Every structure is written in C-alpha cells, then in structure tokens.
Amino acid sequence: MNQITYILHYENALGEVAHYVGNTARNRLKMRMREHRKGKDTPRTKLLRITHGKPRLAAVVEGAAEGIDRFINASDTAGAICPICQERARKTVNS
C-alpha cells in the first residue's frame, strides 16, 4: 500500500499554532481529512479541533520513514517543517 505522511496545521483566533502529523494510505487521505475536520479521530486531534478549529493540510510526504509521524508528534517539532509556519517566518524576517 502507498503510505504517506501528512502535516495538519491548526491555528486559533489568537494566532496560536499547533500541529498533528499523521500517516495513512494515499487512497485514504480524503477520508482522514474529513475525520480530522469533524474531530472524529484521535484524542489529540479532537482536542486541537476544540481549541484551534479546523485543520489545514500543510504538507504531504511520500516515502517518509515508518513511525516518523509518532516521533514528530512526541517531540512537538512539526512547526519546524510545516510549510505554512516556514512561510510566515520568512515574511516576518523579511519585513
């Protein structure tokens, strides 16, 4: 099965950012996104949905190492590789 790793970017009205990194089969990504947006999946994404609203799909990576999603979530380092956060940081530096 063609596995992918994806990054969800959550942001609340105060501008506070949080992330979730998941892993799924490519053909299940749309279904997983529906589940994440409805808050009907993992405890972490249910909480993020309540505190930060609906997620944005920030990135999809094919061929990532197995278990990388759990490592990134546990280390809370997704912001460093989130394209949305990287773009915001570039704009802040250049302004």
User: How do residues 19-71 score in pLDDT, each as one tens digit?
Assistant: 999 999 999 999 999 988 887 778 888 888 889 988 999 999 988 888 899 99
Hey, what amino acid is at 30? K
Q: Where are any strands of DSSP class E within the chain?
A: 3-11, 17-25, 56-62
Please state the pTM of the whole predicted model. Answer: 0.87
Query: Residue 23: what pLDDT?
Result: 92
Who wins on pLDDT, 95 or 33? Answer: 33
Among 21, 94, 13, 12, smallest CA distance to 57 is for 21
Among 68, 62, 54, 65, smallest CA distance to 18 is for 54
Query: Residue 90: what pLDDT?
Result: 85
The yes-or-no verdict on residue 17 having pLDDT over 70 is yes
Confidence of residue 1 (pLDDT cuts 50, 70, 90): low
